[in-house]
Structure 1
Amino acid sequence: MKLSWYNPLIAFTAISFLFASCSHNRSAGKADVQLTEKVFVVNILKNGQKLNEYLEHHQHVWPEVEAGFKKAGYKKITLYRYDHLLVMTIVVPAGADLGQMGKVAESYDKRCAEWNQLMNQYQVGVEGTSPGQTWVEAKPFYAFTNQ
């Protein structure tokens, strides 16, 4: 359903709010490793064919890519979509260096770097990002808990 008041900035704000408000630290149970959930956003090129290709690639993620994620220490990665806006949540150990984790994942197998290069062809930054910048972190600004 397409809403008449929809615009990318409103969608970005609403989705950022929803996912950022769910960002939290939690215990993994294994040796009480603290985990944290981070939220990132990006747009896919406003081209229906490119969007379909991107979605199709994610129906068949290369096994080397997921093995690289495991090697790097990612605990969970989830992608969400609204039109051409993508939201990614990642769960990693608290305090993890995401840049270093990305390098470890890419170095696992040459196909991991190939995957990232392929996916970069579909992605553009959300409004307000620098030229060439794609995924950006959405910072939490409100949280509700019922404990």
Structure 2
Amino acid sequence: MMKSILLVSFAACLLSCGGSKEMKTEEKVFVVNIVPEEKKLQEYLHYHRQVWPEVEAGFRKAGYKKISLYRYQYLLVMKIEVPVGADLGQMGKTAEAYSPRCAEWNRLMAGYQVGVPGTAQGQTWVEAVPFYEFRKE
């Protein structure tokens, strides 16, 4: 009995004292188009040169590890790094709930986005499914 109490105490100390291993993460990739108007594209890019601090604080609060955006003309690619098995829907809600400015940002950005071919009416960001990877071992 004493051994099991000591083991539980040791494990709790490791977790609370920073002795645990770094959380495993995974990358996910999403795509969307910007409304095909040069003015809209330039506005969208301008916003992303000065992302509101509340939005990035919401990302941190929700547990996102990294978010990167890429573009080719009006096609946007977003790569996110999140904890393995993360509930992306819940993470999005947590980020948006952080501040009213986060929800405002999402509404504003949605006005610039349209789905890629094959998405349902009103659907914007969709996950791109990986199908090939090269890795030098």
Q: Normalising TM by the smaller chain, what interval?
A: 0.7 to 0.9
2:36 matched to 1:46?
yes
| Counterpart residue type for residue 32 of structure 1 | E
2:124 maps to 1:141: no
Question: 1:78 aligned to 55, 68, 86, which one?
Answer: 68
Match of residue 47 from structure 2: 57
Match of 1:99 in 2: 89
Identity of aligned pairs, percent?
A: 67
Q: Which residue of 2 aligns with 1:118?
A: 108
Point out where structure 1 has 5 or more consecutive residues left out of the alignment: 1-29
Letter in 2 for 1:107: A
Q: Following the alignment from structure 2 to structure 1, what is the Cα–Cα distance between the partners of residues 99 and 21?
A: 29
Once residues 117 and 50 of structure 2 are traced to their aligned partners in structure 1, the CA distance between those partners, rounded to angstroms, is 29
Amino acid paired to 2:132: Y
- Tell me the amino acid that sits aligned with residue 96 of structure 1: A
Partner SS, residue 49 of structure 2: coil
**Structure having the higher Rg:** 2
* Count of residue pairs the alignment pairs up: 118
The alpha carbon displacement at 1:109 in A equals: 0.3
- CA RMSD between the two structures: 0.8
C-alpha deviation, 1:34, in angstroms: 0.9
Q: What residue in structure 1 maps to residue 77 of structure 2?
A: 87
> What CA distance in whole angstroms lies between the structure 1 residues aligned with 2:87 and 2:21?
20
Shift of 1:31: 1.9
Q: Does 2:117 match 1:127?
A: yes
The CA deviation string for residues 41-99 of structure 1, in whole angstroms up to 9 with x for no partner, is 00000000000000000011000000000000000000000000000000000000000
